[in-house]
Amino acid sequence: MTRSSAVPGGTLVLDSEGLAKAVLRDRTVTGWLALARADDMRVVTSAATLVEVVHPRINRPALEWTLSRLVVEPVTEPIARHAAALLGDAGLHGHKYAIDAILSATALAAPGPVTILTSDPEDLTALCGGRAAVIKI
């Protein structure tokens, strides 16, 4: 976590691993969230990401508290169409990449500069085409 990777006024995006680690109060992700707050960054995730994160063993109160501290962006038709285009541009297809593509389209629609916290930097870097900083967590 470095200040040079996150610019004031931008957007911090959490993928499913980022959100799951935020719920668990992982030290690295908690540091990123504190940095985002200090730098007046929006913190967002995609509504589609919730599908990956919610499971029977998740701490629901911790999840709800975490979600109350960020913006859950809806999956609109323009986001879905942009996600499909990103998949095509990256030469990817299928359900394996669908939620990553939706998250990437959500990130690219957000006010920049955009930083994405992810456990899957290769796919998100390919999908975003260098238009977002992708940080492995």
- Report the DSSP beta bridge partners of residue 10: none
Over the stretch 95-121, which tens digit does the pLDDT of each residue have? 899 999 999 999 999 999 999 999 989
CA distance readout (Å), 75 to 2, 28, 48, 80, 116 = 30, 28, 7, 7, 17
Q: What DSSP assignment string belongs to 45-110?
A: EEHHHHHHH--TTS-HHHHHHHHHTSEEE---HHHHHHHHHHHHHHT--SHHHHHHHHHHHHHHHS
**Position 4 confidence tier, pLDDT thresholds 50, 70, 90:** very low
Question: What pTM, to 2 d.p., does this model score?
Answer: 0.91
132 closest CA partner among 122, 112, 35 = 112
114 closest CA partner among 100, 134, 99 = 134
- Which domains are delineated in the chain? 3-136 (3.40.50.1010)
Task: Say if residue 7's pLDDT is above 80.
Answer: no
Over the stretch 55-65, which tens digit does the pLDDT of each residue have? 999 999 999 99
Over the stretch 30-86, which tens digit does the pLDDT of each residue have? 999 999 999 999 999 999 999 999 999 999 999 999 999 999 999 999 999 999 999
Task: Say if residue 16's pLDDT is above 50.
Answer: yes
